Chains A and B, each alone.
Chain A
């Protein structure tokens, strides 16, 4: 086959080699900084940069012994969990009227609902800051940060669940109704199980977004620190190896969660398929 191609375009091999080289360059451009950061996090050089003087994992140990980092980590995870719960519930609930009801201007409403994804975080941060402090006279706290982040993350859940709901075969609900299921039972046994993969993916997505959300959080968190904010404040005094280690950890966590968001729905489906077979054996 390769030979057939060579006949059609004699210089094809050269072109393909050039394209492959270009692809490698793009990869280097995208990922070299991240790889470098991970490499530095294992570098024993205490300035956290070249030259590499030896390999160590002590920076990771120090990360966990620093009370400021532990504090920021706790705040980050707490906020991420709260944002996930709020966004998942609000986003899922909002998907139903968006897809199912006969609202006028439905596509317009859809666009406005997902607008926060496109609105600069700066704007969301400032507008909520004004709202909380000047209008509502609220103390800034992790809770105000949760609300701010949820404004930005909820549309992601909404989009994922609405897409799934759009493809939902309405005759399944008719069938459930025909078989005696009332509204609650239809939701419980038919609609929710079929939406679950989308809801789960949405939740994981939100959690990941929340973990490293910076701008909105910076405006609204008050005197507390999340990890991204802590890292930012540390970098002002120079890059330390601890910061490298911390960033590498954050990266690992994000990647794991993202992978889960993709893999989990398939795993759930497979589990559903396996369980009854075990019961039958």
Chain B
């Protein structure tokens, strides 16, 4: 990464009155990334996007686009373009004029512009709709026009503000694939805001999980899912079981009632929260069990087609522990009646220890 990052935040923070929308943040996004800002509403992800777009000015810190500070640049002087949540297409202009608007503002020669508009429309598959007005297009088509209108200007970064939020689920899935495809085709850096973890996981090369105006964790979808560094991230991405334990050397993890469960080597002894994904849990009948495991009774077993979900009430754990059993395991679980005594086991390598009682300010423990 010899070149300057596409976007860099240096201690950027945003305050509205006494309310902090974005805590002081350092962040680098490299050229060509598909970078997702993911978090619940009010977490500061849209503020972060608006800071890059220039619609919000930082209270402190410096924002760099391709190595240049843009703090003082208004939106129309930044090499970024945005796909807005409601598309914000100009209703009085045809698709062609919408897409060509940026080029017209940049005073690109008419002939060059016409070619680039055609190219952009071809990229999103809307060549035949060039002479329509936005009102004559479906939601999905409007969204594609918005993408073409932004990309035609060849921005350093394309910002997308929940662009699929208004579409129905099926269309959303299709456009997710299309957007990822467009990203590969043009190679532009994408910064994508969403509250939908599945959307982020399916498209992003890297994800920043945000909460309360703070970036909790930045990583690849794999890292975020398998090595969350806080209970919030673990809970927000996918489903997790949290079990409070006392950890000690040698991978010893004891529940409050003294029973031991499988765990990795902790960074330090003491109170911790053990996070284990439902699909990492295996269920053994008491007779078959050997060694350490979490004992409990089946509360409910539900067959959900692709997998079977089993809720288990465990001794020494407050909330039921959920296991997801796939394939043959799932089939075998069909005869697990409520109140059957079982032992839950898992591979210590699949577990994340979040230290600190609630795991709230926990650091991830490197288990490998």
Q: List 24 A-B contacts (CB under 8 A).
A: A169-B86, A169-B88, A171-B84, A171-B86, A172-B88, A174-B84, A174-B88, A175-B89, A175-B90, A178-B53, A178-B55, A178-B75, A178-B76, A178-B81, A178-B82, A179-B105, A179-B149, A180-B76, A180-B106, A181-B101, A185-B105, A190-B90, A276-B131, A279-B131
Q: Is B367 an interface residue (CB 8 A)?
A: no
The 10 A-B pairs with the shortest beta carbon distances in the complex, nearest first, are A175-B88, A180-B105, A179-B102, A171-B88, A177-B75, A280-B131, A178-B82, A276-B94, A180-B76, A181-B105
Which residues from A are CB-within-8-Å of B105? 179-181, 185
Interface residues of A in 163-194 (CB under 8 A from B): 169, 171-172, 174-182, 185, 189-190, 193-194
Q: Is B187 an interface residue (CB 8 A)?
A: no
Docked Cα-Cα span, A3 to B361, in Å, equals 75
Q: Is A102 an interface residue (CB 8 A)?
A: no
Query: Are A182 and B133 closer than 8 Å at their CB atoms?
Result: no
Docked Cα-Cα span, A39 to B107, in Å, equals 61
Name which residue of chain B comes closest to A272, CB basis.
Answer: B92
Q: How far is the CB of A179 from chain B (nearest CB, A)?
A: 4
- A177-B74 in contact given A190-B90, A280-B130 (Cβ < 8 Å): yes
Which residues from B are CB-within-8-Å of A137? none
For A175, A190, A193, A194, the residue with the greatest tally of chain B CB atoms inside 10 Å of its CB is: A175
Query: Are B90 and A276 closer than 8 Å at their CB atoms?
Result: no
Which residues from A are CB-within-8-Å of B116? none
Q: Is B153 an interface residue (CB 8 A)?
A: yes
Interface residues of B in 68-95 (CB under 8 A from A): 74-77, 80-82, 84, 86, 88-92, 94
Query: Which residues in B have some Cβ–Cβ distance to A below 8 Å?
Result: 53-55, 74-77, 80-82, 84, 86, 88-92, 94, 96-97, 101-102, 104-106, 130-131, 133, 149-150, 153
Docked Cα-Cα span, A237 to B84, in Å, equals 69
Query: Are B82 and A175 closer than 8 Å at their CB atoms?
Result: yes
Query: Are B153 and A179 closer than 8 Å at their CB atoms?
Result: yes
Which residues from B are CB-within-8-Å of A171? 84, 86, 88
Question: What does the 1/0 interface line of A129-173 toward B look like (CB < 8 Å)?
Answer: 000000000000000000000000000000000000000010110
For A171, A177, A180, A182, the residue with the greatest tally of chain B CB atoms inside 10 Å of its CB is: A180
Query: Which residues in A have some Cβ–Cβ distance to B below 8 Å?
Result: 169, 171-172, 174-182, 185, 189-190, 193-194, 272-273, 276-277, 279-280
* Interface of A: prevailing SS: helix
Which residues from A are CB-within-8-Å of B91? 172, 194
Query: Are B102 and A193 closer than 8 Å at their CB atoms?
Result: no
- A273-B133 in contact given A179-B101, A193-B92, A194-B91 (Cβ < 8 Å): yes
Which residues from A are CB-within-8-Å of B97? 276
Docked Cα-Cα span, A193 to B91, in Å, equals 10
Q: Pick from B74, B84, B106, B133: contact of A175, CB below 8 A.
A: B84
Docked Cα-Cα span, A177 to B104, in Å, equals 13
Docked Cα-Cα span, A189 to B103, in Å, equals 13
Docked Cα-Cα span, A26 to B26, in Å, equals 74
Query: Are B92 and A174 closer than 8 Å at their CB atoms?
Result: no
Docked Cα-Cα span, A277 to B96, in Å, equals 11
Name which residue of chain A comes closest to B131, CB basis.
Answer: A280
Query: Are B76 and A182 closer than 8 Å at their CB atoms?
Result: yes
Q: How far is the CB of B129 from chain A (nearest CB, A)?
A: 11
Q: How far is the CB of B356 from chain A (nearest CB, A)?
A: 42
Which residues from B are CB-within-8-Å of A194? 91-92
Q: How far is the CB of B82 from chain A (nearest CB, A)?
A: 5
Which residues from A are CB-within-8-Å of B55? 174, 177-178
Other 16 A-B pairs with CB < 8 A, given A177-B74, A180-B76: A169-B88, A171-B86, A174-B75, A174-B88, A175-B89, A176-B101, A177-B76, A178-B76, A178-B150, A180-B102, A180-B105, A182-B74, A182-B76, A194-B92, A280-B130, A280-B131
Which residues from B are CB-within-8-Å of A189? 101, 104
Q: How far is the CB of A5 from chain B (nearest CB, A)?
A: 39
Name which residue of chain A comes closest to B74, CB basis.
Answer: A177
Which residues from A are CB-within-8-Å of B54? 177
Docked Cα-Cα span, A185 to B102, in Å, equals 11
Which residues from B are CB-within-8-Å of A277? 131
Name which residue of chain B comes closest to A279, CB basis.
Answer: B131
Which residues from B are CB-within-8-Å of A172? 88, 90-91
Q: How far is the CB of B118 from chain A (nearest CB, A)?
A: 12
Name which residue of chain B comes closest to A197, CB basis.
Answer: B92
Docked Cα-Cα span, A176 to B150, in Å, equals 11
Q: How far is the CB of A124 from chain B (nearest CB, A)?
A: 37
Docked Cα-Cα span, A194 to B93, in Å, equals 10
Q: How far is the CB of B237 from chain A (nearest CB, A)?
A: 30
Name which residue of chain B comes closest to A278, CB basis.
Answer: B131
Which residues from B are CB-within-8-Å of A181? 76, 101, 105
For B75, B89, B153, the residue with the greatest tally of chain A CB atoms inside 10 Å of its CB is: B75
Q: How far is the CB of A72 from chain B (nearest CB, A)?
A: 41
Docked Cα-Cα span, A171 to B53, in Å, equals 13
Which residues from B are CB-within-8-Å of A190? 90
Q: How far is the CB of B176 from chain A (nearest CB, A)?
A: 23
Docked Cα-Cα span, A53 to B81, in Å, equals 76
Docked Cα-Cα span, A232 to B116, in Å, equals 65
Q: How far is the CB of B144 from chain A (nearest CB, A)?
A: 15
Docked Cα-Cα span, A277 to B130, in Å, equals 10
Name which residue of chain A comes closest to B50, CB basis.
Answer: A174
For B76, B96, B133, B149, the residue with the greatest tally of chain A CB atoms inside 10 Å of its CB is: B76
Name which residue of chain A comes closest to B53, CB basis.
Answer: A178
Name which residue of chain A comes closest to B101, CB basis.
Answer: A179
Name which residue of chain B comes closest to A190, CB basis.
Answer: B90
Docked Cα-Cα span, A180 to B77, in Å, equals 6
Which residues from B are CB-within-8-Å of A182? 74, 76
Q: How far is the CB of A211 from chain B (nearest CB, A)?
A: 31
Docked Cα-Cα span, A279 to B105, in Å, equals 22
